[in-house]
Amino acid sequence: MTKEFPCTQCGLCCQNVDMAEQTRYLDRGDGSCQYYDDTGKRCLIYETRPDICRVDRQYQLNYAEQYSWDEFVDANVAVCRILKNLDFELGK
């Protein structure tokens, strides 16, 4: 792995778990993860969070044979940008 995943800890992935089939089971009913703390803007179970919430683990488990680490990071960063643009457009 050549570059680190540049997570800004904005929480947008945690606030949109309803958008992906793989994370819908975490939805608390409003699109946000049941473990996301809106007030503190953090994950309440970060140290024990599921594998789906771990970028490096997801890469190893499901994508290492299809993409390079850099390609995988770039794809995830692109999704981050989409979520940020959607958040901006909705005025959140």
What are 14-61's pLDDT values in tens digits? 999 999 999 999 999 999 999 999 999 999 999 999 999 999 999 999
Domain residues for the domain of 47 are 14-89
The count of structural domains within the chain is 1
Q: What is the pLDDT of residue 51?
A: 95
Q: For the whole model, what pTM was predicted?
A: 0.83
Residue 10: DSSP 8-state: -
Q: Which of 59, 57, 86 is nearest to 75 (CA)?
A: 59
Assess if residue 6 is contained within a domain. Answer: no
Q: pLDDT at position 91, please?
A: 67
Q: CA-to-CA distance for 36 and 38, rounded, in angstroms?
A: 6
Is 42 a domain residue? yes
Indicate if the pLDDT at residue 89 is higher than 80.
Answer: no
- DSSP string over 18-58: GGSTTTGGGB-SSSSBTTEETTTTEETTGGG--GGG-HHHH
Q: What is the pLDDT of residue 81?
A: 92
